[in-house]
């Protein structure tokens, strides 16, 4: 009986070794497609992240360009508003009116628009009725510059800074 038990054990061990060798090969073979699938998934994910990052950088560049363009347009708008404000000053309008031959009228005629009533008596103006008003004779077609109502003296060099100016006879 001992021989029979030993033979059974030997056959069981041999069967286990055969089964172990067969299952271990299957396990190795079945693990390779899973690893390949993981590597492919990782590669696809990295390519996706790279494309996503490239797209975001391109959109950021476009955003920067549009913001710079908007800032340039804001500066241009501010310059145009300043030009319009300067062209609407009384000095500029008075100079343009003088170039057209207009003179100030001390007796204006005022029409009240909703009622249509007329206030004042129309009189012709000859330009001598308001001697305190200086009428400029010319206006430049370039961008207007600020002209004060009363002329101011031009400072001499060195007077504004407090530094003495050298005279031609000094230092001899």
pLDDT of residue 62: 98
* Angle value at C-alpha 129, between 127 and 130, nearest 5 degrees: 90
pLDDT of residue 171: 45
Strand partners for 112: 117
At residue 118, φ and ψ (nearest 5 deg) are -110, 125
pLDDT bucket at 51, cuts 50 / 70 / 90: very high
What integer is the mean pLDDT of 39-58?
97
Of 118 and 30, which is predicted with more confidence? 118
d(CA 130, CA 15): 130
pLDDT tens readout for residues 154-166: 444 444 444 444 4
Q: What is the token pair recorded at 66?
A: 């549009």
Strand partners for 117: 112
DSSP 119: E
pLDDT of residue 54: 97
Average pLDDT of the chain is 76
Q: What is the token pair recorded at 50?
A: 């790279």
Name the residue among 162, 103, 99, 107 with its Cα closest to residue 127: 103
d(CA 76, CA 169): 52
Of 162 and 20, which is predicted with more confidence? 20
At residue 106, φ and ψ (nearest 5 deg) are -75, -15
pLDDT tens readout for residues 93-137: 888 888 888 887 777 888 888 888 888 887 777 777 666 666 555
Total number of residues shown for the chain:
172
What integer is the mean pLDDT of 3-13?
79
Q: What is the token pair recorded at 81?
A: 């508003």
pLDDT bucket at 28, cuts 50 / 70 / 90: low
Of 95 and 20, which is predicted with more confidence? 95
Strand partners for 119: 110
pLDDT of residue 95: 84
Q: What is the 3-state secondary structure (H, E, C) of 48-59?
A: HHHHHHHHHHHH
For the entire predicted model, the pTM comes to 0.42
């Amino acid at each position: 009986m001992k021989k029979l038990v030993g033979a059974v054990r030997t056959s069981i061990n041999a069967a286990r070794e055969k089964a172990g060798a067969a299952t271990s090969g299957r396990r190795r073979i079945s693990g390779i497609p899973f690893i390949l699938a993981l590597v492919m998934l990782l590669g696809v994910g990295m390519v996706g992240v790279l494309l996503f990052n490239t797209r975001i950088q391109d959109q950021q560049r476009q955003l920067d360009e549009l913001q710079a363009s908007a800032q340039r347009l804001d500066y241009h708008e501010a310059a145009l508003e300043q030009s319009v404000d300067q062209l609407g000053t009384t000095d500029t309008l008075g100079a343009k009116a003088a170039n057209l031959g207009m003179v100030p009228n001390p007796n204006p005629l005022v029409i009240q628009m909703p009622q249509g009533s007329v206030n004042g008596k129309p009189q012709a103006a000859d330009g001598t009725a308001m001697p305190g008003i200086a009428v400029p004779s010319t206006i430049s077609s370039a961008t207007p510059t600020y002209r004060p109502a009363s002329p101011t003296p031009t400072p001499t060099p060195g007077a504004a800074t407090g530094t003495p100016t050298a005279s031609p006879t000094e230092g001899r």
